[in-house]
Amino acid sequence: MVTDTKTYYTSPAGKEFTLTAGRFAGIHPASTVLDIGCGYGEGVCNMTQEFRCKAVAIDINEENVDFAQNLAVERRVSHLIHFEQNDILQMDFSEEPFDLIMAEGGILSYLGRKDAFKRMRSWLVPRGWIEFSDLILLSDKVPNEVLSIFDYDTYLYESESSYRRLIEDAGFTIQFICLVPPSGWDNYYAHMARRLEDNQGFFANQEVKLAFHKEIDIFYRFEGFRFVGYLVCIVRKKD
């Protein structure tokens, strides 16, 4: 069931998880937050709007950054966020570490999960926090059609148990972990369906339209929620 018709999140994990991370981390106006792979800016705008903290938001896609900057103006938080179009793999924040790093929308799988945790650990203050969301496998018998639409051969997704081991090995403790409910998937695909009506930009491309239509069709036809889940995790850096 669609519960949020106005979201600009580019994954099934939505606003409630962003704000939960802010509360776990005790974010306040003197805090600093880094959003890696900010997408359309929904997460970082919600974080700064709720907690009035300062934030840096990075995305490699120029169209995403432009959209996010306009959204920040609309939400009246543009003065709190520094947006930058850049490749996070070419950046280093170890000299000015953050209280919380947001890594929503599967960005850890894109960056390489083990390497991403190592980088982020050096970008955090002592006992700093990470909030991330990522696709995981719920079964060892996932239909090939479902594996294919999520590019499993490229990303080799974790299970929940293997992600837990990865987090522990990276020097973090889990403070909160859950799977996104079905409504999160419905909100995400409702957003994608709206964007597929765009006549300009990324979603105007016919190949993109066909790819997302296929993903939506296969996910619901094969009841994808039985085989893949979206994991949300809030972790804290060990001493």
What is the residue extent of each domain of the chain? 15-142+151-181+226-237
Q: How far apart are CA 43 and CA 97, in angstroms?
A: 20
Could you list the pLDDT tens digit for every one of the 239 residues in the chain? 777 777 889 899 999 999 999 999 999 999 999 999 999 999 999 999 999 999 999 999 999 999 999 999 999 999 999 999 999 999 999 999 999 999 999 999 999 999 999 999 999 999 999 999 999 999 999 999 999 999 999 999 999 999 999 999 999 999 999 999 999 999 999 988 888 888 888 888 899 899 999 999 999 999 999 999 999 999 999 98
With 0.85 as the threshold, say if the pTM is over it: yes
Residue recorded with tokens 């669609």: 2
Give the number of C-alpha atoms closer than 13 A to the C-alpha of residue 55, restricted to the C-beta side: 35
Q: How far apart are CA 145 and CA 78, in angstroms?
A: 41
Q: How do strand 32-36 and strand 98-103 relate by DSSP bridges?
A: parallel
Under DSSP, is residue 106 helix (H, G, I), strand (E, B) or coil? coil
Rounded to the nearest 10°, the torsion over CA 18, 77, 2, 179 is -10
Q: Contact at 8 Å (CB) between 57 and 85?
A: no
Fold of 15-142+151-181+226-237: Rossmann fold (3.40.50)
Residue recorded with tokens 């339209």: 209
Query: CA Rg, the chain, in Å?
Result: 17
pLDDT confidence of residue 5: 72
